[in-house]
Amino acid sequence: MNADRKPEDTPAGLYGPDGRPQFFSDPAMDRFVPVVLNLASEIWLQHEAIANLKALLAKHGILTDDALDQIARESATDETREATLREFLVRVLGPLREMA
């Protein structure tokens, strides 16, 4: 962000030396926040796409809510899915376990 784009009533210290807003004492956290917001946006897009596909399948009588519930119950005991879930969690949440 350019310095000339800062609102005149900006609190002192809100922007770092590079002209970008600085909310945390650690600049890495300021870079991390947009990552989380981008992921949240991507998750919402996936949610919308899945909802649209489910509606389309239901509209054409291809898949019902009961059939989806049955698939969910069956997958709850699927060892391959459980292993994939564990790998996913380690990959996504692994950095939280690392020492600083």
Residue 75, token pair as written in the block: 């997958």
Query: Which pLDDT score is estimated for 99?
Result: 59
Mind listing the pLDDT tens digit of every residue in the chain (100 residues)?
455 667 788 787 788 777 778 888 888 888 888 888 899 999 999 999 999 999 999 899 998 888 888 988 888 889 999 999 999 999 888 877 765 5
Query: Which pLDDT score is estimated for 100?
Result: 53
Contact between residue 5 and residue 21 where contact means Cβ atoms under 8 Å apart: no
Confirm whether pTM is higher than 0.75. no
